[in-house]
Amino acid sequence: MMRNGRLCDVELLEIGTSSPSFNTARYRENYAKQALMMFFPITAVDDLKFNGSHWEKFMAVGGTKCYDAKLDSQDETPAECMWEYGKKILENIQTRKTVKSKMKRPPDPLTLGTKRPQSTGERTRAHIDDEVRFDADFSEYCIDDDDDDEDTHNGILEPLAQNAKRSH
């Protein structure tokens, strides 16, 4: 399925089928139109179609053939041919889609070794951790010049002393 102007999955194109379903024909037309606009040199919009079809043009310019590095090493793209490196880009897009949707990422070794105990609430009940002041406040890192009970630091940063409490 194509969403947000993205290229659909190549499997949906049913390449090699001569009589595709209605939906497959729509996928083919949209895919071919986007691929041709990106990787086929045109001078007019009509250059994107052959016999009224984007898919026919895509097939005619070699869009369904795999990337060939030998052809890519040529200085110029031959007339009426799709840019060879563009095929590699299309293959890469498809590979990334396949990997994202069908392959599972291996577990991260750091995550595997990290213990994440469930909170039982004991530390909060024992007043060890205060729910309101769990994280460090920015003002804890500022200098208090006026030495009164108010916690105003005038926005001046100061490194913590060796015996100061830290949040980490």
| Residue 53, beta-bridge partner list | 50
In degrees and rounded to multiples of 5, residue 50 shows phi and psi of -135, 125
pLDDT tens, position by position, 103-160: 888 888 888 888 777 777 777 777 776 655 555 555 655 555 555 555 555 556 666 6
CB atoms < 10 A from the CB of 167, how many? 9
Please give the pLDDT value at position 159: 67
Please give the pLDDT value at position 160: 66
Tell me, what amino acid is at 164? A
pLDDT tens, position by position, 40-81: 888 888 888 888 888 888 888 877 777 666 666 666 656 677
